[in-house]
Amino acid sequence: MSKVMNRDEEVQDAICELHNKCDSLLAQCNIDMCKLIDDFNEKYEDDSYCDTVDLNSKFDDLADYVEEYTS
């Protein structure tokens, strides 16, 4: 029984680690993407504009992926 519990704990820890690493990756990507878009908007403010109004929610959806699709 203890081997099963240890394996279950190991898997749960690995899922948590995966989730944390994905969250960190997505958070940095969100920051980088916002900066990239802001720079674009400043450079081409008279010609074009990329709206970031919904950008955070897109990253929120991705952040939920590991939790929702890992069994």
**pLDDT over threshold 90, residue 52:** yes
**CB of 66 closer than 8 Å to CB of 18:** yes
Pinpoint the alpha helices (H) of the chain: 2-43, 55-63, 65-69
pLDDT tier for residue 71 given thresholds of 50, 70 and 90: confident
Q: Which residue has the higher pLDDT, 17 or 4?
A: 17
* Nearest-5° Cα angle at 28, 27 to 29: 90
pTM: 0.81
Q: Model confidence over 6-43: pLDDT tens digits?
A: 999 999 999 999 999 999 999 999 999 999 999 999 99
* Nearest-5° Cα angle at 13, 8 to 18: 125
